[in-house]
């Protein structure tokens, strides 16, 4: 091996070592300093690694693990033996209400969810099961119902709809670096933030609105709701769609047009539609957030939603 080749190999190894050392230092910094339990992106990575699994059913996409708990966003999330966020397992002797939805329903960053509060408010013969799973859409949630939850003989199903629940989510296989390196998530989201500020990619408002322009997937999702509605009608199950608003800019709400789409659809198909915006809009939006960087509903917002639901459900529950 001549000197030129030796020099090339030495420089290549030195460069590789330097890059590895830089990323190693960044990883240590992110884990020691940035990871304080409040970084949304890192906590979501932990959630994906610890509490979620890829479903064998592609239509379901993501399922929760069972009999497991994890502290995320400084809140303990406990999943029972059916994968619901409930301290107790399904009680087959009780009347049962199922909450379908995404991370808003799960109660990301909240100690107690509107499911928890609602169960406490209604009589002890009714159990409220929280099937909310983060990063899922309406299509996945309903398919999860038919795949995993239909066997529990629910008396009511509440489909909690959030503004991005028509997003066409593609389940991708993550590599070792994406799954295990906090620094990768941290740097990636820093880059996204810069690109958004430079208007090179869509911000959250544009992104949410764009999900409603995918007519094929929107119709596919609406057809799943019709399928769920038909099943509920045929089995004497109460079906309600509860709209949960995006909690940023409530006083100048940007998604009224999109909300009207799901409301009109519900009315045309004889589905009860309620809108939690009606109660949440009465409070300063910052008081409803998990944190300044995370606009998921906090404990206060969950209590307000449960009070709102209780008021709407009371007449139906009285007839059970």
In words, the CATH class of domain 55-170+199-318 is: alpha beta
DSSP helix/strand/coil, 263: helix
Answer whether 89's CB lies under 8 Å from 81's CB. yes
Nearest C-alpha neighbor of 317 from the set 86, 123, 103, 171: 123
Tens of pLDDT, residue by residue over 94-145, are 999 999 999 999 999 999 999 999 999 997 889 999 999 999 999 999 999 9
52-73 per-position pLDDT tens digit: 999 999 999 999 999 999 999 9
pLDDT digits (tens, 9 = 90+) for 245-268: 999 999 999 999 999 999 999 999
Does 17 score more than 80 pLDDT? no
Global pTM exceeds 0.75:
yes
Domain ranges of the chain: 55-170+199-318
Give, in order, the Cα–Cα distances in Å from 127 to each of 13, 66, 118, 295, 318.
61, 19, 9, 28, 15
Q: Which residues pair with 160 in a beta bridge?
A: 242
The span from the first CA to the last CA of the chain, in angstroms, equals: 86
- Count CA within 13 A, CB hemisphere, residue 63: 21
């Amino acid at each position: 091996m001549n000197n030129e080749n030796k020099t090339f190999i030495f420089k290549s190894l030195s460069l590789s070592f330097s890059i590895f050392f830089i990323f190693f230092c960044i990883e240590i910094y992110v884990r020691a300093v940035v990871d304080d339990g409040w970084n949304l992106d890192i906590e979501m990575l932990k959630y994906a690694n610890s509490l979620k699994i890829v479903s064998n059913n592609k239509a379901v996409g993501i399922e929760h693990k069972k009999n497991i708990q994890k502290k995320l966003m400084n809140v303990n999330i406990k999943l029972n033996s059916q994968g619901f966020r409930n301290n107790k397992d399904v009680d087959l002797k009780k009347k049962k209400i199922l909450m379908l939805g995404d991370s808003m329903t799960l109660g990301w960053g909240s100690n107690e969810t509107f499911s928890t509060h609602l169960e406490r408010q209604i009589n002890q013969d009714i159990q409220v099961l929280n099937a909310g799973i983060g990063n899922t859409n309406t299509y996945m949630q309903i398919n999860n119902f038919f795949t995993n939850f239909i066997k529990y003989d629910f008396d009511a199903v509440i489909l909690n709809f959030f503004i991005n629940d028509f997003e066409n989510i593609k389940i991708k296989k993550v590599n070792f670096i994406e799954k295990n390196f906090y620094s990768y998530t941290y740097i990636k989201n820093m880059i996204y933030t810069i690109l958004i500020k430079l208007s090179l990619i869509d911000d959250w408002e544009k992104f949410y609105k764009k999900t409603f322009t995918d007519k094929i997937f929107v119709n596919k999702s609406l057809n799943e709701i019709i399928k769920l509605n038909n099943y509920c009608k045929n089995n004497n199950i109460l079906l309600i769609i509860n709209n949960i608003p995006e909690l940023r800019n409530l006083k100048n709400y940007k998604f009224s047009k999109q909300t009207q789409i799901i409301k009109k659809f519900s009315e045309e198909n004889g589905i009860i539609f309620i809108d939690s915006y009606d109660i949440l809009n009465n409070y300063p939006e910052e008081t409803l957030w998990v944190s300044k960087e995370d606009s998921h509903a906090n404990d206060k917002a969950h209590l307000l939603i449960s009070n709102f639901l209780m008021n709407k459900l009371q007449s139906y529950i009285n007839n059970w």
